[in-house]
């Protein structure tokens, strides 16, 4: 049976109200137009969250870290004037996950900007430990998993410590919730959506992978770290985070399907053996056409939504807390006030428990990073483009029998 490619769709546009604009305008003024559309969506009352979602998912994503600091909180329904306090030293006391978190953070050096002074990186690593422990302390029902810090460090490098706590807290209770159980049952359930997607698009590729018995564990680190652990270029990681923050919790698995489909010829030319196919797929290429793949993932999601896949593959969507809670989360984001209104309300209430000045309102010019204030934090906030380590995620063949502990080797 031949391959049925997902329908193509325009990769540029669709983020504002000018979807029928000329190609010339999109090429010449697309970026400027997009910046204007995002700004207008942010100042509307209520905030135009659907336009922000389309902007984050469309070509180029949110374009700059300055915009990410404004839009990411809206995508997660976070009030930037009511952020958590910085964790106290007591957050580390008697925490059951402290030792494991420290080990994982210590070996995450490659996730920080290349050339960052050791002392500055050390400060950020200490903040990363506190961020993770603070979120876990606030949510005793959640269980730490190795790879969670890959999500946390991406947030820290863009939005700073306090905003990272708020964002990670929300993500942990919704998008990442299935990965934070005491067992991996829900995580395996999410991975089980991959093969049905492949079967719908390319039955021949699907059958080859079934015969090889490769399973889906090669995509585990992609899924639970939102690809942060396996991409070497931070700009690609940020582009995917824009996309995932604006999308359904299952979108990372749809993207995994597009990556496998993109490598169809490589896969079929490989010996039909579990070890060989796993070796190929677990090493994600660093030159993937991300914009193309993001567009294809959106197409696949529209053509084969989770409910349809669940019915065809006998998957029970109720097993996923992330899926079952998504509608409630989505609705909660639709009636947010713009920051200007939130600021006035905060001042009117005489709030002394939070201030907006922190990491989210730094000067726009990157040249001001080294001026007054906390140089270390400003460097982290701007999330400088860096060459990150392309860590290899290796899983033994015997890992098909997962236990309660996630074995994820980070180095």
Identify the three-state secondary structure at position 387: strand
* Residue showing tokens 């030792």: 99
At 171 the pLDDT is 98
Give per-residue pLDDT as tens, 122-131. Answer: 999 999 999 9
At 47 the pLDDT is 96
**Average pLDDT of the residues in 108-114:** 88
How would you classify residue 373: left for phi > 0, otherwise alpha for psi between -120 and 50, otherwise beta?
Answer: left
- The CA-atom distances, in angstroms, between 97 and each of 24, 94, 139, 145, 319 are 54, 9, 13, 9, 26
Identify the three-state secondary structure at position 202: strand
CA 131 to chain centre: 17
Identify the three-state secondary structure at position 183: coil
- Better-scored residue on pLDDT, 38 or 398: 38
At 5 the pLDDT is 53
At 146 the pLDDT is 94
Give per-residue pLDDT as tens, 332-383. Answer: 999 999 998 998 888 888 754 444 444 443 333 333 332 333 444 334 333 3
**Average pLDDT of the residues in 295-306:** 97
Residue 115's pLDDT band (boundaries 50, 70, 90)?
confident
Give per-residue pLDDT as tens, 45-86. Answer: 999 999 999 999 999 999 999 999 999 999 999 999 999 999
Nearest to 244 by CA among 30, 41, 14, 68: 68
DSSP codes, 96-161: TTHHHHHHHHHT-GGGSPTT--HHHHHHHHHHHHHHHHHHHHH-TT----TTHHHHHHHHHHHH-H
- Better-scored residue on pLDDT, 385 or 111: 111
In DSSP terms, 233 is beta-bridged to 387
8 Å CB contact between 6 and 296:
yes
At 251 the pLDDT is 98
- Better-scored residue on pLDDT, 156 or 378: 156
The reply to whether the predicted model has a pTM over 0.75 is: yes
Average pLDDT over all residues of the chain: 82
- Better-scored residue on pLDDT, 399 or 183: 183
At 194 the pLDDT is 96
Residue 89's pLDDT band (boundaries 50, 70, 90)?
confident
Give the separation between CA 387 and CA 116, rounded to whole angstroms: 11
**Average pLDDT of the residues in 2-19:** 45
Over pLDDT 90: what percentage of the chain?
66
Given a cut of 90, whether residue 389 has pLDDT beyond it is no
**Average pLDDT of the residues in 131-160:** 97
Given a cut of 50, whether residue 257 has pLDDT beyond it is yes
In DSSP terms, 202 is beta-bridged to 3
- State the Cα angle at 347 between 345 and 350, rounded to 5°: 110
Least confident residue range of 23-37, 85-99, 117-131, 287-301: 23-37
At 110 the pLDDT is 87
Given a cut of 60, whether residue 25 has pLDDT beyond it is no
């Amino acid at each position: 049976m031949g391959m049925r490619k997902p329908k193509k769709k325009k990769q540029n546009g669709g983020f504002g109200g000018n979807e029928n604009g000329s190609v010339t305008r999109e090429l010449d003024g697309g970026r400027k137009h997009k910046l204007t559309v995002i700004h207008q969506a942010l100042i509307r009352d209520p905030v135009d969250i659907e336009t922000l979602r389309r902007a984050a998912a469309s070509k180029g994503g949110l374009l700059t870290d300055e915009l990410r600091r404004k839009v990411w909180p809206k995508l997660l329904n976070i009030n930037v004037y009511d952020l958590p306090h910085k964790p106290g030293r007591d957050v580390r006391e008697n925490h059951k996950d402290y030792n494991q978190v420290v080990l994982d953070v210590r070996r995450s050096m490659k996730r920080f900007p290349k050339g960052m002074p050791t002392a500055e990186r050390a400060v950020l690593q200490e903040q990363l430990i506190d961020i993770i422990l603070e979120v876990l302390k606030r949510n005793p029902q959640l269980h730490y998993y190795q790879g969670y810090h890959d999500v946390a460090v991406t947030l820290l490098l863009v939005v700073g410590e306090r905003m990272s706590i708020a964002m990670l807290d929300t993500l942990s209770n919704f998008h990442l919730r299935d990965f934070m159980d005491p067992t991996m049952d829900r995580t395996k359930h999410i991975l089980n959506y991959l093969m049905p997607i492949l079967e719908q698009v390319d039955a021949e590729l699907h059958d080859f992978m079934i015969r090889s018995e490769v399973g889906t564990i090669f995509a585990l680190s992609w899924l639970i770290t939102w690809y942060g652990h396996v991409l070497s270029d931070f700009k690609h990681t940020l582009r995917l985070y824009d996309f995932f923050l604006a999308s359904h919790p299952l979108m990372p698995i749809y993207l995994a399907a597009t990556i496998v489909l993109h490598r169809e010829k490589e896969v079929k030319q490989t010996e039909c053996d579990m070890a060989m196919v796993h070796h190929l797929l677990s090493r994600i290429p660093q030159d993937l056409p991300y914009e193309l793949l993001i567009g294809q993932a959106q197409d696949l999601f529209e053509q084969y939504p989770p409910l349809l896949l669940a019915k065809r593959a006998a998957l029970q969507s109720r097993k996923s807390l992330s899926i079952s809670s998504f509608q409630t989360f989505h609705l909660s984001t639709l009636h947010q006030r713009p920051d200007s209104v939130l600021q006035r309300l905060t001042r009117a209430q005489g709030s002394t428990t939070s201030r907006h000045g922190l990491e989210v309102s730094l000067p726009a010019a990157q040249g001001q990073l080294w001026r007054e204030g906390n140089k270390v934090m400003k460097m982290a906030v701007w999330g400088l483009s860096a060459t990150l380590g392309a860590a290899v995620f290796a899983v033994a063949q015997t890992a098909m029998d997962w236990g309660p502990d996630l074995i994820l080797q980070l180095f």
